[in-house]
Amino acid sequence: MKWIMRGITMALAVSLFAPVVAAGEDLFDPPGLMLTWRDDPLTTMVIDWNTEEERDAVVQYREHGEDGEWMEESGESFPFPYSERTVYRVELTELDPGTKYAFRMGEDSREFSFRTMPLNAARPIRVAFGGDTRHDQDWMENTNRQARKLDVDFVVWGGDLAYADGREDRLYRWKEWFDANKNELITDTGRVIPILAGIGNHEIVGGYITSHEDYEQTDEWREEIAPYYYSLFAFPGQPGYDVLDFGDYMSIILLDTNHSNPVAGEQTEWLEQTLAERTDVPHVFPVYHVPAYPGHRDFDGSVSELVREHWVPLFEEYGVQVAFENHDHVYKRTHPILEGEIDDRGIVYIGDGAWGVSTRGGHDPDEAWYLTRMESKRHLIMAAIQGRTHVFYMIDEDGNLIDTYPEMTGITY
């Protein structure tokens, strides 16, 4: 009887207090919420949001599941280009690796969580790669949803993000882009999935440095032709390419394929040094926009040729195993390629950027010597990394497994 009474009392309590819980809807729910890194992913986190509402650039945080004191960190705020919005950016540091934290933008804010990356790759790590994210918000949300369901640690996009081309009249595309992430890149437990975003032709007025006669290799000039990109993303920041090291197990290199930096010259010199310093890292992944081995466009496209001439020999010399390419709006996987020929010791190029865009027809693998797989499907590429091994699962926007590398049959992911 006591138990029954307690049950009834509980039920009453729940129904009495339900409206109070619902009042949580009044909490500040940050638009434009985006997490990324610009420093050590094991011990830091950059938390961005953008809103028209005037706020303090403050984040409160504590270990998830604890009810101790909130710690507090403040950051910076600056204008969202061509917009009434302000970008708020707070970087948390001195965090513990492999740890889940709760955070909020002050006492009146909805609560979220994030996870720092682990010290090593002893447990499986999942990263979703792709690019060309928003022709259509619904398409972007479909593929985002698959990344969310896979509970990936973070996503990496290799350019052509919102398709705003640095233009004021396309501001709405960025708003849709941020909404797509808010809607589908936060897990059911409230964990916000971090994003690394490289640069593509649609981040830039004119697409490429070659369309600007007044081109200068300066921060000011790059910011002028790509105002959204250089404001909205803490990483890579200027000059538009950088590397992020995850302990000693993984390095992700974001590169700029002639959009706001020339492929050749300073960037290539930097790439050589960056690769040379990481030959002991088991998972080194270059990510860039225009493909060396295009799935849809011509093999002798000028930027593809630049990438093959300047970067591919470095990838080969310093032991890269897989590179991620975008821009062609298909799913493609190449044979392993070494010195321009199919070779088991070579590099596999996976792409080609169809996260949330209308897809194109691709080259027939029977006719393009370098291709082994081709699909005109929106997709993500999930890297599952553990120890020194990595396996890639290609998943379409509906959650179907369309390819794996290495090739496997009869498996689930």
Binding of Fe ion at residue 375 (CB under 5 A)?
Answer: no
Closest CA to 380 of 391, 395, 369: 395
Specify the stretch interacting with Fe ion by CB under 5 A; choose among 183-191, 236-244, 319-327, 363-371: 319-327
Binding of Fe ion at residue 198 (CB under 5 A)?
no
Return the range that interacts with Fe ion (CB under 5 A); candidates 18-26, 293-301, 321-329, 375-383: 321-329
State the nearest-atom distance from the C-beta of 133 to Fe ion, in Å.
9
> Of 136, 178, 148, 151, which Cα lies nearest the Cα of 51?
178
Residue at token pair 């949001």: 49
* Distance, CA of 1 to CA of 21 (rounded, Å): 29
Nearer to Fe ion, 118 or 200 (CB): 200
Please choose, out of 81-89, 131-139, 305-313, 360-368, the segment that lies near Fe ion by the rule CB under 5 A.
131-139
Binding mask 217-256 for Fe ion (x = CB under 5 A): ----------------------------------------
Can you tell me which residue has the tokens 């979703």?
128
User: Which range in 41-49, 63-71, 125-133, 247-255 contacts Fe ion by CB under 5 A?
Assistant: 125-133
Q: Strand 322-324 to strand 348-351: parallel, antiparallel, or no bridges (unpaired)?
A: parallel
Among 116, 146, 201, 304, binds Fe ion (CB under 5 A): 201
Cα–Cα distance for residue pair 251/253, rounded to 1 Å:
6
Q: Which residue has the tokens 């992944």?
A: 285
Q: Which stretch binds Fe ion (CB under 5 A): 30-38, 62-70, 132-140, 343-351?
A: 132-140
CB distance 298 to 325 below 8 Å:
no
Strand order in the sheet with 45-51: 34-36, 45-51, 86-92, 76-79
Residue nearest to Fe ion as judged by C-beta position: 160
| Residue closer to Fe ion (CB basis): 92 or 380 | 380
224's enclosing H/E stretch is helix 219-225
Would you count residue 296 as binding Fe ion (CB under 5 A)? Answer: no
Residues 6+ apart with CB under 8 A from 46: 35, 36, 37, 38, 89, 90, 91, 92, 234, 235
Nearer to Fe ion, 42 or 290 (CB): 290
The kind and range of the H/E element at 214 are: none
200 binds Fe ion (CB under 5 A): yes
Contact by Cβ (8 Å): 352, 294: yes
Determine which residue in the list 89, 182, 296, 327 makes contact with Fe ion, applying CB under 5 A.
327
Residues in region 13-42 near Fe ion by CB under 5 A: none
Strands 331-334 and 371-375: antiparallel
Shorter beta-carbon distance to Fe ion: residue 33 or 162 = 162
160 lines the binding site for Fe ion (CB under 5 A): yes
Instruction: State the minimum distance, in angstroms, from the CB of residue 163 to Fe ion.
Output: 7
Which residues of the chain form contacts with Fe ion (CB under 5 A)? Answer: 132, 160, 200-201, 327
